Amino acid sequence: MATANGRKSIFITGAASGIGAETARLFSKRGWFCGLYDVNTAGLAAVSEELGTGNSITGKLDVRSRDDWALAVKSFGEATGGKMDVLFNNAGVGRHGWLEEISGEDNDWVIDVNVKGVVNGVQACLPLLKATPGARIVNTASTAGIVGSPRLAVYSATKFAVRGLTEALDAEFTELGIRVTSLMPWFIDTPILDMGTQEGANVKMADELKEAGQNVYPVSLAAERAWDAAHGDAIHYMAGKDAQRMKFMTRWVPGFILKQVKKSVPPRTES
């Protein structure tokens, strides 16, 4: 098994693709040892091979499962000498569409992965984080956690929850010497933009974004901001100029933003 050999280490969920994979590439290039975890084991193998021999370990992890977390953290600790410099709670899923179109089971899935998965991760990793001076937790939230996003209602609610959890734990863990921050991207070019109302849906969120002329930022930008979130003094790190603008507007003119959000909602069409 590969080991950290004194290098700083990061534990990444959702590491098989998107922001997780790109963050692993960036941290590895900068000399970090990466723990790569996801339900997609084929994707993990590809990312690990890309990072090179001895630079990572991988493991199948369903963030909803506390048993999976226990096994993953055990193997990571064995590879790092009981240390964890950064926990990157990045795994996330979503459904896009009118609330009545999305099943209760899919809503449960989104909540369980996006919220319970983050809580499970913090609790499972806390012993290693406490044993590591200057440790940090970075949680992937979203600009959908700043203002409620129509047709992403449950996803948006989960990201508000991640934002609140981040702020609460950053205060709660002060005495432990652990910082807790969040990454808040605008639309990033990752597989999550393929979300529909259900698995296999023909209409994807990415299609509607293109039609609306929305900006979609490269995944490399989100990875750089994840690096900042792991090192900087702020608590929330926006990825993309649109995200920065949204943060500014919701702080200073929240009423205007809410009116604009309402105006942006398309009419329902009969199926």
Catalytic residue list: 155
DSSP characters over the chain: ----TT--EEEEESTTSHHHHHHHHHHHHTT-EEEEEES-HHHHHHHHHHH-TTSEEEEE--TT-HHHHHHHHHHHHHHHTS--SEEEE-------S-GGGS-HHHHHHHHIIIIIHHHHHHHHHHHHHHTSTT-EEEEE--GGGTS--TT-HHHHHHHHHHHHHHHHHHHHTGGGT-EEEEEEESSBSSGGGG--SSTT-SS-HHHHHHHHT---B-HHHHHHHHHHHHH-S-SEEEESHHHHHHHHHHHH-HHHHHHHHHHHPPPP---
